[in-house]
Chains A and B, each alone.
Chain A
Amino acid sequence: MTGLPTALTQVIGLSGGALDTLMPMHVWADDHGRIVQAGPTVLKMIARAIVSGEGLFDLIDIRRPARVTTVPDLLQHTGRKLAVALSSAPDLPLRGTVTGLQGGAGIILNLSLGLSFVRAVAEFGLTLNDFSPSDQTVELLYLHEANQSAARLSRHLTERLENARRAAEEQALTDTLTGLSNRRAMDMELARLLAEPNEDFGLLHLDLDFFKQVNDTLGHAAGDHVLGHVASALKGELRRADMAARVGGDEFVLLVRDCDDAARLCGIADRLIRQIEAPIRFDGQPCRISASVGIAMTAAYDPRPTADRLLNDADIALYAAKHAGRGRHMTHAELAPEARPDRRGTDLADNVV
């Protein structure tokens, strides 16, 4: 307390100490705006003592309402919410409310941390003791910390779910767009079939022709529609034990089991190409595509080929089919040795335009 006339104590009926307890963030000023006393938390926040005769408006900046620079101005706003800040901490907005005292005893401006409480508590190093027990600021801080912990737990849960989803996707065996098997499932099935010494099977590598044009001119939805149509054609042509897989954007691999007959594989390829060439309508627009097929079969090899060899040979045959004019099939066995360039590592689309 600085220079407090006894008469003022009698006017409000409370000692300065009682004010400190009830309102640790109060500032009491006389009618001329000179500070009489400031509560202990305010002193902690300005980190110094009040100088005798120090002006209220030097210590505290009243921001809203605007143009409040005298005690009478301030009293115009008795009981309302004031936006204020300490001049020594202009970037921490505080709240205040003012009331006039009777008999020329001045005014009391009571402050609170308002919405900046988290920063303010940290910046001013406030403790539990700096708040009146009836002030809910500490409870707000508690809630703020509890919320942060809960948010952290939720975030961990979301991350774990996301990781689990990714792991599940990596283990998935189905192409989500067409419902056919995916590349991973095809690789596994191919390895499994090759490991069975008595299993002769055919491998058809099918690549759509003019698919890019459909995508480019009619949009991806049309492209997806076409892929779905192709997938049903493949499913319709195969038996339960066979496998059709989508191994790339518009590339498919078929594994036809129990087959050492090239003519039968060619028949399957022919029928598929014809079905795929039939116009598909999307949004009233016809989508015309075709397909080229390269064929390899285990019966043509001795010893048994590796998976890479079989895939590569089917790919070479596919390349030859594209080269021969598309919309047709080719078996690896029917290619002359010189027409079997090793295409490993080159991109089909780059070579056949």
Chain B
Amino acid sequence: MHGLVNRALQGFVVTTYGRASWDEVRSQAGLPYADFEAMMRYDDVHTLHAFNAACHVLHKHPNALLEDIGTYLVTDVELEPLRRLLRFGGTTFLDFLHSLEELAERGRIAMPDLELPIMSLEEEDRASFRLRARWSLPGIGPILLGGLRAMADDYGALVFLRLSGIDGRDECLHIQLLDTQHSEGRRFDLGGAAP
């Protein structure tokens, strides 16, 4: 798994629970290094061990932890560049939802060896969608649940989201779009990247 993914797990634990918790996770997972390095690749076994250890150390259900990580990826101030990249997906939350089908390709432009989930959006009616996501590790559904909820908030949209099962290798999400302009949302200036 790409170092960025492992780094996201570490970043979430350190930011939310502190360095000591990460050290505990690291020790329980038997990781031979103090930090995951964002620009390296790691065997998936390390990722899974670290994740299982994190569930154990933080007393969290795996799905709850994954959902929190999804929220963290969008909302953490240190990860503002990532939020910005996601906002390139479209002007409205609906545009953004449709742009998820391009996400894997966008990720590849940014970092050729970063394997992001492959997603497809099925429109059930004008306001309900089923998102299917396929990734090399299990758990992309709950990560997206947290991430999309945070992105909806970012766009100022009111949505109802729930996991809707696993279909073969796809993890599915049900998305109900209740109000696209529920609140102001957060600003996104196209030319406003930090230098």
Contact = CB atoms under 8 A, between A and B. Distances in A.
Interface of A: 118, 120-129, 138-139, 141-150, 153-154, 156-157, 160
A146 B108 CA distance: 10
Given A141-B88, A142-B106, A146-B111, A154 B39 contact: yes
A168 to B, nearest CB: 15
B68 interface: no
B189 interface: yes
Given A121-B190, A143-B109, 9 more contacts: A124-B191, A127-B189, A128-B190, A141-B88, A145-B84, A145-B85, A146-B85, A156-B38, A157-B38
A146 B39 CA distance: 14
A128 B37 contact: no
Nearest to A122: B191
Nearest to A124: B191
Contact of B193 (A145, A154, A156): A145
Interface of B: 4, 37-39, 81-82, 84-85, 88, 90-91, 106, 109-111, 189-193
B32 to A, nearest CB: 15
B31 to A, nearest CB: 16
Contacts of A146: 85, 109-111
A123 B85 contact: no
A129 B91 contact: yes
A124 to B, nearest CB: 8
The listed residue with most B CB atoms (<10 A of its CB), out of A120, A122, A149, is: A149
B38 A123 contact: no
Contacts of B189: 122, 125, 127
Is chain B's binding surface mostly helix, strand, loop or mixed?
Answer: loop
A142 B91 contact: no
Contacts of A148: 81, 193
A148 B81 CA distance: 9
Contacts of A127: 91, 189-190
A128 B91 contact: yes
Contact of B110 (A122, A141, A150, A157): A150
B37 A150 contact: no
B191 A126 contact: yes
B191 A121 contact: yes
B106 A118 contact: no
A160 B37 CA distance: 10
B193 A150 contact: no
Contacts of A160: 37
Contacts of B88: 128, 138, 141-142, 145
A347 to B, nearest CB: 43
B39 A125 contact: no
Contact of A122 (B85, B90, B192): B192
A133 to B, nearest CB: 10
Contact of A147 (B37, B91, B110): B110
A182 to B, nearest CB: 27
A153 B38 contact: yes
Nearest to B79: A149
B190 A153 contact: no
A124 B191 CA distance: 9
A118 B85 contact: no
A143 B88 CA distance: 10
Contacts of B109: 139, 142-143, 146
16 contacts: A121-B191, A122-B191, A125-B191, A127-B91, A127-B189, A141-B88, A141-B190, A142-B85, A142-B106, A143-B109, A143-B110, A144-B193, A149-B110, A150-B110, A150-B111, A157-B39
